[in-house]
Amino acid sequence: MRATTQQIPFVDLKRQYRQHRSEWLGALTRVAESGRYIGGEEVAAFEKEFAHYCGTAFAVGTGSGSDALRLALLALKIGPGDEVVTVSHTFVATVDAIVHVGATPVFVDIDPVTYTLDPKQLKAALGPRVKAVLPVHLYGLSADMAPILETCEAAAVPVLEDAAQAHGATYQGRACGSMGKAACFSFYPSKNLGAFGDAGIVATSDGELADQLRLLRQYGEAEKYNHKIVGFNSRLDALQAAVLRTKLPHLDAWNERRREIAALYDATLGEIPGIGTPTTPEGRRHIYHIYGIRAQRRYALQQFLTNRGVEVGIHYPTPVHRQPSYREIRTRSLDLSATVAVAKQELSLPMFPELTRPEVETVCRLISDWAQPR
């Protein structure tokens, strides 16, 4: 077995900063010198540019992806007594948002191949109290939206997309974020499009919903000191908007680079017995926010790689319905066996656009050594 002293990070945001330093700093300076730190031109321009990127009529900036979800649910008038169907195999914020508005999460299983909401279970989960369906485009792969949209349309239930991991992913040529009634994105720094702090956005083509979101994020204020509804303070900062504006034109190239890295991983790891590589169904463009493999002895492999300088992650070790925070929360669950199985085996490998080919090759070689000790 070969050891390596090389450190391969799971994600390294400084590499991108070094490459684009003058662009990013230019954007920050522009805002600093403008004297306009909340709202203003940068925010309005980014909202327009991001809506255009998604193919929606509007996008409304928020303080985070979590707030994007919470405000979108409120704008859809979802509250106590209502149910929202989603998955348990996701980042906890998806489900927390449902709890925060007073509604009850209903968990359906994931498809064991794509790890996204299983449309076959959806019909069984619907009922008179279900007021929205919240699929997650997990790891950068779109959920199977055609049957989800069809089922929801027949039941007259709106679809809210959690696109926090899917900036630039597509499904049958349609952008993630453009298929539901609304879609929520996060610009947490390590997301495929990341700010210099917390930021989020809701994309929608529904003008009334966009108006409601603008009220909710700013104290319910229709005009200065005229408060139409009880609202929040959750806005996209001008500094973040300016940085995001300079980053957005690079997003497609960064996603393409992630796809190249994924293809490198696929080619080598796909040959290793006991290692499951991600599967992308036809018609979906995966943008690999996470490159997740499956391994039987996941923690042993994690330890092996960590000891050799490769930083890996697990997304996610415990499904939401089994989190301590959900012990006392009222939820409804269908059969979640795929969710539980995937949570036991998933391991996320280093993935970011600036990861080098030799680094990817080192990771592959180590996994191969682990699987077939010589």
Ligand X SMILES: *Cc1c(COP(=O)(O)O)cnc(C)c1O
* Cα gap 42→27, rounded to integer Å: 10
Q: Which is nearer to ligand X, 90 or 170 (CB)?
A: 90
Tell me the closest approach of the beta carbon of residue 92 to ligand X, in angstroms.
8
Tell me the closest approach of the beta carbon of residue 362 to ligand X, in angstroms.
27
Tell me the closest approach of the beta carbon of residue 33 to ligand X, in angstroms.
27
Q: Which is nearer to ligand X, 186 or 362 (CB)?
A: 186
Give me the residue whose beta carbon is nearest to ligand X. 65
The two tokens of residue 104 are 């009850």
* Cα gap 184→174, rounded to integer Å: 16
Q: Which is nearer to ligand X, 285 or 289 (CB)?
A: 289
Contact 72, 160 (CB under 8 A): yes
Non-local CB neighbours of 22 within 8 Å, separated by 6+ positions = none
Residues that bind ligand X (CB under 6 A): 64-66, 90-91, 93-94, 136, 162, 164-165, 186, 188, 198, 200
Q: Which is nearer to ligand X, 135 or 304 (CB)?
A: 135
Q: Which is nearer to ligand X, 93 or 364 (CB)?
A: 93
Q: How many other β-carbons are positioned within 10 Å of the β-carbon of residue 328?
A: 6
Q: Which is nearer to ligand X, 175 or 367 (CB)?
A: 175
Give how far Cα 11 sits from Cα of 63, 250, 289, 318, 354, Å. Answer: 23, 17, 11, 22, 9
Q: Which is nearer to ligand X, 61 or 119 (CB)?
A: 61
* Cα gap 136→316, rounded to integer Å: 14
Residues in the chain: 374
Angle 355-361-363 (CA atoms, 0-180°, nearest 5)? Answer: 80
Q: Which is nearer to ligand X, 131 or 191 (CB)?
A: 191
Q: What are residue 130's phi and psi, to 5 degrees?
A: -75, 120
* Cα gap 54→41, rounded to integer Å: 20
Q: How many other β-carbons are positioned within 10 Å of the β-carbon of residue 126?
A: 18
Tell me the closest approach of the beta carbon of residue 181 to ligand X, in angstroms.
17
Give how far Cα 313 sits from Cα of 38, 54, 258, 317, Å. Answer: 35, 29, 17, 9
Q: Give the position of tokens 């997304």.
A: 315
- Cα torsion 263, 350, 140, 326: sign: positive
* Cα gap 233→113, rounded to integer Å: 40
Tell me the closest approach of the beta carbon of residue 67 to ligand X, in angstroms.
7
Q: Which is nearer to ligand X, 160 or 366 (CB)?
A: 160
H/E run at residue 213? helix 207-217
